[in-house]
Amino acid sequence: MAFHAQLLQLTETSRMGLLSAPIIQGCLRGEVSLPSYVAFLTEAYHHVKHTVPLLQACKAALPPHHAWLNDAMDEYVEEERGHEEWILDDIRACGGDAEAVRRGQPGHAAEVMIAYAYDTIHRRNPLGFFGMVHVLEGTSVSLALLAADNIQKPLKLPDAAFSYLRSHGTLDQAHTAHFALLMDQIEDLRDQLDIVHGARAFFRLYGDVFRGLPLPQTAAAPTEVAA
């Protein structure tokens, strides 16, 4: 079995753990709110702004025998550059304070996920960072476009509020095909195990980001009045 197929198989339980986050399941049922969506965008901004620095750090830390990955890393950098600004534009289109988000700090879960990504690159194995790529891009493909539709319709938000979700849902379909080709060229067992380890960890950490978001408030059931 090619390594990418193994990666999918070995991380399926972890992926389902992320998808079980209450806010994701609620969104799939159409339970959405503007504060929840803006909170999601806020945390997305704080981790997406690290995507290019993380890719650059990963490339710089690659050992010489993985120099064949350099061109792919450069392509990722060019494709991901500036995406955090799309998120701020979405926040503005929702009526949120984008500059306050820019000046602010991530929630604890996003901060830990970012820290773990840098730690993986610098302490463990730079190829382990591909576990994060697998998690973020795979989640985008499976959820982003559906989530955008489920959020937009009931909240009556403009298309301008969904540039991040819709662009990533579309772009990452091509990215995942390219990612699969790269992963199938990873032959060293240690590298493969570190990528699987990273993916499992990032599924849990990214799931914690979603579990930390405020749930939409649902109307309370009317209280029965005794006769």
Show pLDDT as tens, one digit a residue, over the chain (227 residues). Answer: 899 999 999 999 999 999 999 999 999 999 999 999 999 999 999 999 999 999 999 999 999 999 999 999 999 999 889 999 999 999 999 999 999 999 999 999 999 999 999 999 999 999 999 999 999 988 776 788 889 999 999 999 999 999 999 887 665 566 788 899 999 999 999 999 999 999 999 999 999 999 999 999 754 334 444 43
> Residue 196's closest CA among 208, 183, 181, 209?
183
- Whole-angstrom distance, CA of residue 174 vs CA of residue 41: 23
CATH number of domain containing 179: 1.20.910.10
Query: Dihedral through CA 26, CA 32, CA 38, CA 41, nearest 10?
Result: 40
- How many structural domains are present in the chain? 1
Dist CA 84 CA 102 (whole Å): 9
Q: For residue 125, what are the domain limits?
A: 3-211
Q: Is residue 226 part of a domain?
A: no
- For residues 11 and 203, the answer to whether their CB atoms sit within 8 Å is yes
The per-residue pLDDT for range 11-50, each reduced to its tens digit, is: 999 999 999 999 999 999 999 999 999 999 999 999 999 9
Q: Is residue 71 part of a domain?
A: yes
> How far is the C-alpha of 69 from the C-alpha of 51, rounded, in Å?
17
CB atoms within 10 A of CB 222: 6
**Within a domain: residue 25?**
yes
User: How confident is the model over 69-86, as pLDDT tens digits?
Assistant: 999 999 999 988 999 999
- Helices 12-19/3-10 angle, 10° precision: 50
95: left (phi over 0), alpha (psi -120 to 50) or beta: left
- C-alpha span between 207 and 170 (Å, rounded): 22
Judge whether 222 lies within some domain: no
- Whether 11 maps to a domain, the answer reads yes
Query: What are the tokens at 176?
Result: 């995942």
Task: Give a yes or no: residue 23 inside a domain.
Answer: yes
Tell whether 154 is covered by a domain: yes
> Does residue 116 lie in a domain region?
yes
Nearest alpha-carbon partner for 128 in 79, 204, 55, 191: 191
* pTM of the predicted protein model: 0.91
